[in-house]
Amino acid sequence: MAYELDQFISDCRSILSRDPGPDGREEVRTKLERLLQNPDFVRKHCEDAPRGLHVLYEDPKLGFQVLAHINEKARVSPPHDHGKSWAIYGQANKYTDMIEWQREDDGRDPNHAKLKQVKKYRLNPGQAGIYQDGAIHSIDYPDNARFVRVTGTDLDKIERIKIDLKTGKVDTMRMMAS
């Protein structure tokens, strides 16, 4: 039987209630990969869905969200974090090139960061990557790439940073869809 969105949500609830830490999130990541193997789910929520960002589920108790990102245009994001949250990105179609960054500075200057690239890889359909609290990454995807994100909380409600690669300038942001 196909693994459905409802079952995925129920699994996320029980996993994250038992273990909200990195091990529990890793379990959620593998479940998301399983969900993305369901062609009916991908068609309905990712391929046939209208363009934009859709909240498929928000947990009233634990606060995690399941989001479908239905992108039309290609985009390269600046390096950014997810604040005090974590994020899991699961590719539905096309691909997303991921770069993971580390700070080389001591983090004391709130306005400036020096970044070093530590990992670069491509998420293909059915693959999910995890970014723990405070991790910095950037994403690069082509036209019509679609992905499903699971975040620990509503990222629009928390403070996050993005970093200009050329100047190292750190900006605090809200409401950024990556």
Q: How far is the CB of 131 from Fe ion (least distance, A)?
A: 6
Q: Which is nearer to Fe ion, 127 or 178 (CB)?
A: 178
Q: Which is nearer to Fe ion, 13 or 75 (CB)?
A: 75
- 130 near 25, Cβ under 8 Å? yes
Helix (H) or strand (E) holding 89: strand 87-93
The string over 34-67, giving b where at least 16 C-beta atoms fall within 10 Å of a residue's C-beta and e elsewhere, is bbbebeebbeebbeebeeeeeebeeeeeeebbbb
Q: Which of 71, 85, 151, 178 binds Fe ion (CB under 5 A)?
A: 178
- 73 near 143, Cβ under 8 Å? yes
Query: From CA 77, how far away is CA 65, in angstroms rounded?
Result: 21
Q: Which stretch binds Fe ion (CB under 5 A): 39-47, 104-112, 117-125, 170-178?
A: 170-178
Q: Which is nearer to Fe ion, 38 or 138 (CB)?
A: 138
Total binding residues toward Fe ion, as defined by CB under 5 A: 1
Q: Which is nearer to Fe ion, 3 or 94 (CB)?
A: 94
Q: Which residues bind Fe ion (CB under 5 A)?
A: 178
